[in-house]
Structure 1
Amino acid sequence: MRLSPDELVLWQMGLFHLNATMVSTWALIIVLVLGSALATRTLSDRDERSGWQNLLEIVVTGIIDQIGDIGLETPRKYLPFLGTLFLFIAASSLSSIIPMFEPPTGSLSTTIALALCVFVAVPFYGIAARGLGGYLKSYVEPTVIMLPFNAISEISRTLALAVRLFGNMMSGAMIVGILISITPLLFPIVMTALGLLTGMVQAYIFTILAAVYIAAAASAPHSTNKSNTAPTPAAPLAH
């Protein structure tokens, strides 16, 4: 049994090769792009709307509400990035039910690439919201001694995102594969449904963690309430 679709090489010429991860990733991207184009080509603001538009609005509204609940102001600004993350991982999880299709999130290279996108997005949105100086200052808060620890935290949480998603997706696929080979038909079907549920949960967790990291970078530290430090006005002099 393959641990990763990277091991399935479909074409190779010298140092260049084409594996199942690359094929499944591009196939998934094409399906998402075409699906988005088809779902948005007949958008309407009238009461009578297509079922696809209603489904699309439910998904988009749900993602925006979740981003807002994290604490990010103007959630629509973060919708393209966070929404794309969620839809790609969720679609990858759903694609696992297709026979002979290798979900790209079953590859560590894909999950690392997704985590690196978050790693780049955090300072991008942080600098956009707080300025370069304000964002860099967060690395030395509350004291300059925290600089190396904050830097290590940035790197370690990126690795944690990649390994967590890869581990859950790979383990789910392996369990289903083992059960299909040693048990009757009904039980693997149930496990496949549970695997799909787990994949959707992982897509949600990955996106929420990305939103939390961005919110931490984009939110300015709370300033001290000046009213608490202002001197108490002197009592009027008695005549």
Structure 2
Amino acid sequence: MNGSELFPSVLFRVGPLQITGTVITTWAIVAAIGSAAWLLSRRLRLQPGALQTLAEGVVIAVEDAIRAVAPDHVKLLLPFIASLWIFLVVANLCGLIPGVHSPTRDLSATAALAILVFLSVHWFGIRSQGLKRYLRHYLTPSPILLPFHLISEITRTVALAVRLFGNIMSLEMAALLILLVAGFLAPIPILMLHIVEALVQAYIFGMLALIYVAGGLQSQQLRQPPQGERHE
């Protein structure tokens, strides 16, 4: 949990692109998660070992969370939501490694995740309902509300990015300040605080993403009365 740098430094450049520590850490996390998933999927057994049991438990937990919000779209949303949740947990916790900063303490990383959620909401909505039917919900119940719908889309995306960035950044800064003042007299409470807060923030971001995507999938249905009521 080395906090000598408040902001990621540029390690090298590829043309106009600046490659920072956040980018390298993110690539490493993606590669590690992908490798772990590949290795686990190659050794599946009817009598699972400890790692397979853990992996199956994670998948079941994510399935249950999706089923509680969007019961008709569990299989559709599972790859995206599970990948997002797993990445956030690992990204938030990797700040515990000496000399490594959590990618989510960088606003550019959290903004990229929020934009990904924003695009996924519309992707899943259009895929489920069709372009015309999906866009129609922005004019429901009145076209006058269109600007408010658009403002809502923008503000919730910004809030999603800033909330995660602010919480992880403040967590690492608070831990750094306490360690500077108290030295290593209280490492265990700081470690536990970091773990708990990292897991909580990953859960909140993932759950909000799930709610937003489920809202996009069900936007038209939520604005229409049930079939039986329309015939009454």
Name the TM-score, length of structure 2 as normaliser. Answer: 0.91
Q: Percent identity?
A: 36
Contact 1:72 1:215 in 2 (8 A): no
SS in 1 for 2:72: coil
Q: Say if 2:3 is the partner of 1:4.
A: no
Map 1:1-239 onto structure 2 (within 5 A): 1-5=4-8, 8-12=9-13, 15-44=16-45, 46=46, 48-219=47-218, 220-222=220-222, 223-225=224-226, 227-228=228-229
Cα-to-partner distance string for 1:58-99 (whole Å, 9 max, x where unaligned): 000000100110134131211111111111110011211110
- Aligned CA distance change for structure 1 residues 10 and 230 (closer, same or farther; 3 Å): closer
Structure 1: gaps spanning 5 or more residues? 232-239
How many angstroms does 1:17 deviate by? 3.4
Rounded Cα–Cα distance in structure 1 between residues aligned with 2:13 and 2:221: 52
SS in 2 for 1:221: helix
- Larger deviation, residues 211-220 vs 8-17: 8-17
Rounded Cα–Cα distance in structure 1 between residues aligned with 2:21 and 2:197: 22
Cα-to-partner distance string for 1:138-157 (whole Å, 9 max, x where unaligned): 11111111000001101110
- Aligned CA distance change for structure 1 residues 110 and 13 (closer, same or farther; 3 Å): closer
- Aligned CA distance change for structure 1 residues 148 and 53 (closer, same or farther; 3 Å): same
How many angstroms does 1:114 deviate by? 0.3
How many angstroms does 1:12 deviate by? 4.5
Aligned residues: 227
Rounded Cα–Cα distance in structure 2 between residues aligned with 1:103 and 1:72: 33
Counterpart residue type for residue 176 of structure 2: G
RMSD: 1.8
SS in 2 for 1:4: coil
How many angstroms does 1:192 deviate by? 2.3
- Aligned CA distance change for structure 1 residues 145 and 36 (closer, same or farther; 3 Å): same
Rounded Cα–Cα distance in structure 2 between residues aligned with 1:85 and 1:134: 27
**Shift >6 Å, 4+ stretches:** none
Instruction: Determine the structure 2 residue equivalent to 1:237.
Output: none
SS in 1 for 2:44: coil
Rounded Cα–Cα distance in structure 2 between residues aligned with 1:208 and 1:215: 10
Rounded Cα–Cα distance in structure 1 between residues aligned with 2:230 and 2:165: 50
Rounded Cα–Cα distance in structure 2 between residues aligned with 1:14 and 1:230: 63
Cα-to-partner distance string for 1:114-149 (whole Å, 9 max, x where unaligned): 000001000111111111122111111111110000
- Aligned CA distance change for structure 1 residues 35 and 226 (closer, same or farther; 3 Å): closer
- Aligned CA distance change for structure 1 residues 97 and 230 (closer, same or farther; 3 Å): closer
Instruction: Determine the structure 2 residue equivalent to 1:234.
Output: none
SS in 2 for 1:78: helix
How many angstroms does 1:2 deviate by? 2.9
Rounded Cα–Cα distance in structure 2 between residues aligned with 1:227 and 1:11: 62
Greater C-alpha Rg: 1
Rounded Cα–Cα distance in structure 1 between residues aligned with 2:42 and 2:14: 41
SS in 2 for 1:10: strand
Counterpart residue type for residue 187 of structure 1: A
Rounded Cα–Cα distance in structure 2 between residues aligned with 1:27 and 1:218: 32
